[in-house]
Structure 1
Amino acid sequence: MKKYIIKRLLTAIPVLLMISVGAFIMMNLAPGSPTDLYVSPDATPVQIEATRRALGLDQPYHIQYFRWLGRALQGDLGINYSTRYPVLPILISRIGPTITLMGTTLVFSYLIAIPLGIISARKNGTWVDNLLTGGSFVGVSIPNFFLGLGLIYIFSVQLRWFPTGGMSELGGSGGFLSAIHHLVLPVIVLSAFYIANMTRYMRATMIQVYGENYIRTATAKGLASEVILTRHGIRNALIPVITIIGTDLPRLVGGAIVTEQIFQWPGLGRLTIMAIQQREYPMLMAITVLSAVVVLFANLLVDIMYAVVDPRIKYN
């Protein structure tokens, strides 16, 4: 296992380089330039060129990339164009809120979705199964922005139970209870999709497991249904579910762009929108590389979890 992990980590290095090159090319091929936001419409060519030089955009693209790569290897991800602040501290300050929001959402979603999927599979074909399956399709189909705006109108504007957005009250001291109060609506909006998606996968996997021969054998031996479920059913059903969890883990850093924008949550998703609008190339490069690192780490973690859940899986 150790050799496999080391090999995967070494393989990730050229993958990250290719991702950074692709991101750099796409950003520079996009219409417009960062200088458009920092010069007046009647600026002279001399002023435009001076602005490009100040932002480090006067060099050829390959030189700009290798300069960025050299600084990134030393821990310098560049300077934010609009504020002239280093990118790394800004990025670090936004990771915490995003992990708080997405981590709470994923844990809450799995704690609800996995039992619902098991119940739906055990009640296959009944009204309970039909109700849960129909609710899952609704949860997958409803757009985040529509659900978010609806919840804000009902619970924030009309009932005034929850704040309309942000992570803490203006002028308040914050604290754990305040953070929970601000988390409720965004977590509900995000969980609607994750609960629905995981319920569907858990149901389909459990139905397949219940049809296996070893489940029939355990039933024929007279084992209790709870024992069959815990010892034989859930563990074998977790292998496909782990794959879904692996695709959800990168969202811990990538965040939910639409939901964070609706609720004004100060995370990476909202920062991404601001960076795109202001053409903050260093910030976008940093977010892209960070997301790629998390995706690669999630894939490695999923492979390790496969071996933990299923002893038949060996990595040589």
Structure 2
Amino acid sequence: MEMFQLKVTAIREVAAGIHEYTLSDPEGGDLPAFTPGAHIHVAVPSGGTRQYSLLNDPAERSAYRIAIKLEAEGKGGSTSFIAATAAGDSVEVSAPVNDFELRGDGERIVLIAGGIGITPILSMAQYLLRTAAKPFEMIYLTREPGQTAYLDEVVNGPLAPHVTLHHDMGDPANSLDLAALLAEQNGAVLYCCGPTGLLHAVRAASQHWERGSVRFEDFGTTPAAPAEDEDGFQVRLEGGDQSYWVPEDKSILDVLNEAGLDMPSSCESGTCGTCRMRLVEGEADHRDLVLFDDEMDDSIIICCSRAKSREITIGFPA
């Protein structure tokens, strides 16, 4: 992945434990264009890169703005970046990539954000407000006001007439009634970003919506379900003689790529469907947000789903 250097020109805390970074060209030039929902890869001091959504309006070409939540129980990427990065520093980033693109279909747009998932949703909302491309509404769900990034902007700024803000104060009994909210589709297309629990709740509440009209991005803030296959399982490609062992700490996608098969993938979180394969034999443990109930008998998303049987056979889509 090709990376380039940007300068941190501003830092501000936008909620408890959430810091916004403005990244600009050191020479003051325009940055590569991006579309609403895009993210960049950012090198972090602890090693490797992390993906962060661009939260500003794509019309703003002078800077990329990202918000990073301090994840004390994460892998150290956010902690190391927040601790070590100051205004004036250089950071290494990639060109923007978009696995969560705001498309032109639908009569209206519903945006749902949970917690730090506000970042790509905020970019989408600013774009829709500026262009008047579609009627839209934004639902923003957080635990409490102090943990709500961009609270003042969404309550008092130009977006306010379009925003429903809901705090559950940490009590599931205070959760927003998503089933009632999504009871009628009425020509809408829905974009949802947030923790895995919210995505599953939205998926359940929108099962009756037209296929392809509900799109997700997962910030991975909810721990993945533990593997039921503690010893792993075998995966076989249809028509081949070789089987591959999938241990509990790797995905089917990881194993097949390591075997040199170069499988198609994009989000690697079970939200985009790029790595969808046919399920030929065996029983799958579905963990994605792509497949509808009637597709689960003969399809599998290999970046996140696993096997309940000791062996499964998969094949490329027809």
How high is the TM-score relative to the length of structure 1?
0.22
Q: Which has the higher strand share?
A: 2
Which of the two has greater helix per residue?
1
TM-score (norm 2): 0.22
